[in-house]
Amino acid sequence: MRDLKEIQLAMQPPMVEGDHDFGSVSDKIGDITLKRKTPFHWFIGFGIAFIVAQLLMMTVTTLLARGIGIWGNNQPVGWAFDIINFVWWIGIGHAGTLISAILLLLNQKWRTSINRFAEAMTLFAVACAAMFPLLHTGRPWLAAYWLFPYPNTMGIWPQFRSPLIWDVFAVSTYATISLLFWYVGLIPDLATLRDRAKNKYFKFLYGIFSWGWRGSARHWHRYEIAYLILAGISTPLVLSVHSIVSFDFSVSQVPGWHASFFPPYFVAGAIYAGFAMVLILCIPLRVWYGMKDFITDTHLIYMGKVMLATGLIVVYSYVMEAFFGWYSASQYEQFMIYNRIWTGPYWYMYWLLILCNGMSIQLLWFKRFRESPFWLFLISIVVSIGMWLERFVIIVTSLNRDFLPSSWAMYSPTMFDWSMFIGTIGFFFTLIYLFVRFLPIISIFEVRTLLPAANVHGHPSDFDESVLGVEYTYDHTDPPNK
């Protein structure tokens, strides 16, 4: 049995390439924040992202001053960019949680070097997503009593039978758990940075946020338990959050929304979009920061395969959507499908969607495309656009022609719809750039566990401490076990 396991292990491609020991891993990742001069391309990228983020500031200011009438949505298309973008961003976050939680529980080693920034991506995407429904309330400072159940002076609670309130809980739980998970995972690395920082302000800040981590056996023991518990809590969230987001639509009766297969359809779409965003981020990152040893081609291929699998589920859902329209025998559902695909004013959006999400992904069947970072990057961008189109098609084409022809109307976004959407993209990348600059983008201590030195077989007396490549400082301040 043991032989078989060893053969299996040997057949797995290595997750860390190059000749690394514990010390060189810490150097390579930690130095990005601590020692290396901030590269010029960082300033360029951050500058562009920051300027684009100002579009968001401008839009939010105008919105608060003038109200949500600055957006193009109006009856019958009461939900448009605000909810499209909300679902788009929330979906993107899901890959981070899948990578960090489910792949951890499934013991997938390849998650180790991508989980840190995938989780950061989740957090920032949730922040962008939350802005849309909050600002759609028009007066976000009053949103607390519309959204959260607390003993308010009106003596009433939010409508608990509405999926919108489930959404509030789903998203706020998701944001909290994602933040905790990310932060708990960061603590040992923050301590590494604290110990290596020369600048005393950085030392202080990293020190505060590492909560006195000294890496004692007790610390590790508790850390492992906490991390596993958080992974356990996060795992259902991967499925539940986007299921509940899909309830926003499927609980209603609008043709094109009222379908029982929405939850799995949305969850698959979310993971699909999320992996596309992870690829968009990590392909340039590993080149710019020389991280190819840790984010290897194998990682990219695996992510490409996940994208292909989830993408095919999404394509299947598109087929099922059309099938349900026919099978429902409801004239409204049937009309909705004709309207969406062929006779309606937004038919080209549907075919763009099929092109982006359905066709482009088929390239990943071929090894040539899967193994080329360039093609993966390109397909990921196309998929991201496709996933945005999917939400546009679901939301706008269902609403603009519903039951009563007398209430049909077209939807067109205004300048502020676009500036808000593009602004959140700028905001997202601003946060990503700050993250890359100030925090370790790859989990240092977890990558160390992938090294051969971390899996020593044999008698302890054979163990040569020099392979660790780090000096051990024994900590005498740690009190003895009680």
Partner 1 sequence: MAQFFHKSANNIARISMILGVVLAGTAFYVYTQVARSSYLTGRYLEKQQPVQFSHKHHVGDDGIDCRYCHSTVETTASAGMPPTQTCMNCHSQLWSDSEYLEPVRASFRDNKPIQWERIHDLPEFAYFNHSIHVAKGVGCSTCHGQIDNMPSVYQENTLQMEWCIACHREPEKYIRPKSEVFNMNWQNSDLTDDERLELKAKNKIRSRELLTSCSTCHR
Binding positions for partner 1, rule: CB under 8 A: 150-156, 194-195, 203-204, 207, 211-212, 473, 477
CB 50 within 8 A of CB 430: yes
Cα–Cα distance, 428 to 425 (Å, whole number):
5
Nearer to partner 1, 206 or 302 (CB): 206
Sequence-ordered alpha helix ranges (H) in 297-358? 297-327, 331-338, 347-353
Nearer to partner 1, 455 or 481 (CB): 481
Nearer to partner 1, 193 or 393 (CB): 193
Closest approach of Cβ 460 to partner 1, in Å? 27
CB 15 within 8 A of CB 462: no
Nearer to partner 1, 106 or 156 (CB): 156
Tally Cβ neighbours within 10 Å of residue 147: 19
Cis-peptide into 452, omega within 30 deg: no
Cα–Cα distance, 79 to 400 (Å, whole number):
10
Closest approach of Cβ 183 to partner 1, in Å? 14
Closest approach of Cβ 444 to partner 1, in Å? 19
Nearer to partner 1, 37 or 200 (CB): 200
Burial track 421-447 (b if 16+ CB lie within 10 A, e otherwise): bebbbbbbbbbbbebbeebbbbbbbbb
Closest approach of Cβ 195 to partner 1, in Å? 8
Partners of residue 74 on adjacent β-strands: 77
Closest approach of Cβ 151 to partner 1, in Å? 6
Closest approach of Cβ 194 to partner 1, in Å? 7
> Helix, strand, or coil here: 474?
coil
> Within the chain, how many helices (H) and strands (E) appear?
18, 0
Nearer to partner 1, 107 or 153 (CB): 153
Closest approach of Cβ 208 to partner 1, in Å? 8
Q: E strands of 95-173, at which residues?
A: none
Cα–Cα distance, 430 to 423 (Å, whole number):
10
Closest approach of Cβ 477 to partner 1, in Å? 7
* Greatest CA separation for the chain: 85
CB 75 within 8 A of CB 413: no
Nearer to partner 1, 160 or 348 (CB): 160
CB 339 within 8 A of CB 397: yes
Nearer to partner 1, 148 or 377 (CB): 148
Closest approach of Cβ 433 to partner 1, in Å? 28
Cα–Cα distance, 134 to 373 (Å, whole number):
37
Nearest CA to 275 out of 247, 243, 311 is that of 311
Cα of 172 vs its chain's centroid, Å: 15
Nearer to partner 1, 191 or 337 (CB): 191
Nearer to partner 1, 204 or 463 (CB): 204
- Any idea how long the chain is? 482
Nearest CA to 19 out of 211, 342, 293, 330 is that of 293
Measured CA angle at 105 (ends 101, 106), to 5 deg? 115
Nearer to partner 1, 222 or 305 (CB): 222
Closest approach of Cβ 406 to partner 1, in Å? 24
Cα–Cα distance, 97 to 299 (Å, whole number):
17
Closest approach of Cβ 197 to partner 1, in Å? 9
Helix axes 200-209, 163-196, angle to 10 degrees: 130
Nearer to partner 1, 201 or 374 (CB): 201
All residues at 6 or more sequence positions from 239 whose CB lies less than 8 Å from its CB, including other chains:
263, 267
Closest approach of Cβ 186 to partner 1, in Å? 16
